[in-house]
């Protein structure tokens, strides 16, 4: 059975999220905390387990019981979309991880793209 840290590391990698990105999602100032959690050298308070589960799109029970649920076709489809660079950037933008200046540029470009696509229809 995988450890708590292994579940976090494996799921983070499945979602193509870096330690830095996960740290930012959870409000940590550096990736060191994530590295320590994944290696098992840092305990995680129960309230933080819920935050980690949400960030990794897992049921908190998965982290508490340390048993991953079976992957569904829908899960695989979502992962495929997230691996796409533009979708990944959109997720990072929506999650507030992207720096403000870069986020503003991305949103502007995204809206222009939608406008062009709507005109073509």
Query: How high does pLDDT run on average in the chain?
Result: 77
Q: Which structure tokens are listed for 2?
A: 């995988």
Query: What's residue 109's pLDDT?
Result: 73
Burial of 55 (0-12, 13-18, 19+ CB in 10 A): buried
Asked if the model's pLDDT at residue 10 lies above 60, the reply is yes
H helix intervals, 1-121: 4-14, 19-26, 32-39, 46-55, 60-65, 73-83, 85-94, 100-120
Q: What is the pLDDT of residues 61-100, one digit of tens each?
A: 878 776 655 666 666 655 565 555 555 666 666 666 666 7
Residue 120 C-beta-side C-alpha neighbours within 13 Å: 6
Question: What is the CATH code for 1-69?
Answer: 1.10.260.40
Percent of the chain residues topping a pLDDT of 70: 64
Q: For the chain, which residues make up each domain, given as ranges?
A: 1-69, 84-121
Asked if the model's pLDDT at residue 22 lies above 70, the reply is yes
Q: What is the pLDDT of residues 97-114, one digit of tens each?
A: 666 777 777 777 777 766
Phi-psi region of 69 (alpha: psi -120 to 50; beta: other; left: phi over 0): beta
- Yes or no: say if 28 and 34 are a contact pair by the CB < 8 Å rule: yes
Q: CA dihedral in degrees (51, 52, 56, 58; nearest 10)?
A: -80
Query: What's residue 69's pLDDT?
Result: 57
Query: What's residue 121's pLDDT?
Result: 47
Asked if the model's pLDDT at residue 19 lies above 90, the reply is yes
Rounded CA separation 56/58 (Å): 6
- pTM for this one? 0.56
Rounded CA separation 106/120 (Å): 21
């Amino acid at each position: 059975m995988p450890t708590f840290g292994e579940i976090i590391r494996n799921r983070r990698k499945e979602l193509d999220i870096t330690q830095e990105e996960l740290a930012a999602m959870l409000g940590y100032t550096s990736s060191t905390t994530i590295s320590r959690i994944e290696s098992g050298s840092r305990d995680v308070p129960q309230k933080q387990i819920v935050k980690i589960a949400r960030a990794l799109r897992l049921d908190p029970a998965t982290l508490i019981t340390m048993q991953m649920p079976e992957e569904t076709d829908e899960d695989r489809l979502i992962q495929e979309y997230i691996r796409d660079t533009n979708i990944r950037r959109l997720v990072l933008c929506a999650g507030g991880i992207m720096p403000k200046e870069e986020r503003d540029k991305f949103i502007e470009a995204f809206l222009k793209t939608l406008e062009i696509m709507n005109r073509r229809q």
